[in-house]
C-alpha cells in the first residue's frame, strides 16, 4: 500500500482554536492515527534548550535533527511524549515550550528537516494531522483539509481552562498577549506561514463547542468520502 491509499485529514489553525481536541475526536471516530505536529516542534525546542543551543541558530538546530529520538504513546487522557526515552509530556505543555517551539519553527531548513519525521505518521488506514502547515506543506495531497479559527479572546480563554485543568498556573491577559505574539510570528514567517490551504474548509469555532465542530467535520468527511 502506498501513501496515496492512506486517507489523510489535515486540521490547521492557530493555537487555542481547538484543533488538538478536534483532531483527537476525529481520529478516534474514524479509527485513524494522529499526528500532533506542534509536539514535534516543542520536542525539538526542548532538546535545543537542554543542550544549550540558541533557538535562532539554524545550523546548530539542524545538527540536533541527526539524533532526534522522539516517541509518542497514548495515555489515559493526554498523549505521552518521550525525548531520548524520557517522558517530557508535562514540560512540553508549558507556555515556555510553546514559545520556544514557535522560534524553532521559523527556520525553513529545520521545517524541511522535519518533513520526513511528520510524513512517517502517514500509515493505513488513515491519519489526522494537526498543525499549522499540514494541508499546505506536509500533506498537500490530503483528501480532507480543514482550517480552524477563532478570535484571540476565545482562544486565550480556552488555553487558560486547559492549563488550569492540567494543574498549571495561568493568567488570561498574559496568555492573550503571548498568543497574539505567536500568531504574528506564525503568520509572518517566510517558511510555511500559517495560512489556510486553497482547498481547505475554513471553520470558525468561536461560537461552536467541541461536539458541534467535531460533528461538522465528520459529516463533511462522510458526505464527501
Positions touching ligand C5P (CB under 6 A) are 15, 37-39, 41-42, 98, 101-102, 105, 131-133, 182, 186
Judged by beta carbon, residue 181 or residue 219, the one nearer ligand C5P is 181
Q: Closest approach of Cβ 88 to ligand C5P, in Å?
A: 13
Closest to 36 (Cα-Cα) out of 73, 3, 63, 66: 73
Burial of 65 (0-12, 13-18, 19+ CB in 10 A): middle
Q: Tell me the torsion sign for CA atoms 75, 76, 79, 80.
A: negative
Residue 57's Cβ-side half-sphere holds a number of Cα atoms within 13 Å equal to 11
Judged by beta carbon, residue 101 or residue 149, the one nearer ligand C5P is 101
In the complex, residue closest to ligand C5P by CB: 38
Q: Closest approach of Cβ 50 to ligand C5P, in Å?
A: 17
Q: Closest approach of Cβ 161 to ligand C5P, in Å?
A: 15
Do the Cβ atoms of 9 and 144 come closer than 8 Å? yes
Judged by beta carbon, residue 25 or residue 219, the one nearer ligand C5P is 25
Judged by beta carbon, residue 99 or residue 215, the one nearer ligand C5P is 99
Q: Closest approach of Cβ 48 to ligand C5P, in Å?
A: 13
C-alpha distances (whole Å) from 115 to each of 18, 52, 208 are 23, 24, 32
Do the Cβ atoms of 80 and 73 come closer than 8 Å? yes
Q: Closest approach of Cβ 190 to ligand C5P, in Å?
A: 12
Judged by beta carbon, residue 102 or residue 205, the one nearer ligand C5P is 102
Amino acid at each position: 500500500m502506498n501513501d496515496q491509499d492512506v486517507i489523510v485529514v489535515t486540521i490547521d489553525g492557530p493555537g487555542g482554536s481547538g484543533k488538538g481536541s478536534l483532531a483527537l475526536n476525529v481520529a478516534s471516530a474514524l479509527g485513524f492515527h494522529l499526528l500532533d505536529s506542534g509536539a514535534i516542534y516543542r520536542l525539538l525546542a526542548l532538546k535545543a534548550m537542554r543542550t544549550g543551543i540558541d533557538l535562532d541558530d539554524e545550523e546548530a538546530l539542524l545538527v540536533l535533527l541527526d539524533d532526534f529520538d522522539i516517541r509518542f504513546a497514548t495515555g489515559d487522557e493526554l498523549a505521552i511524549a518521550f525525548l531520548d526515552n524520557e517522558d517530557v509530556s508535562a514540560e512540553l505543555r508549558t507556555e515556555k515550550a510553546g514559545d520556544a517551539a514557535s522560534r524553532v519553527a521559523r527556520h525553513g531548513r529545520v521545517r524541511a528537516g522535519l518533513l520526513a519525521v511528520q510524513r512517517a505518521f502517514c500509515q493505513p488506514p488513515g491519519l489526522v494531522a494537526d498543525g499549522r502547515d499540514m494541508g499546505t506543506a506536509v500533506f498537500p495531497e490530503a483528501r480532507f483539509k480543514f482550517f480552524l479559527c477563532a478570535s484571540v479572546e476565545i482562544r486565550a480563554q480556552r488555553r487558560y481552562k486547559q492549563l488550569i485543568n492540567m494543574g498549571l498556573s495561568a493568567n488570561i491577559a498574559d496568555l492573550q498577549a503571548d498568543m497574539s505574539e505567536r500568531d504574528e510570528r506564525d503568520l509572518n514567517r517566510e517558511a510555511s506561514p500559517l495560512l489556510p490551504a486553497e482547498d481547505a474548509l475554513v471553520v470558525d469555532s468561536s461560537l461552536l463547542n467541541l461536539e458541534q465542530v467535531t460533528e461538522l467535520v465528520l459529516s463533511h468527511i462522510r458526505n464527501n468520502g
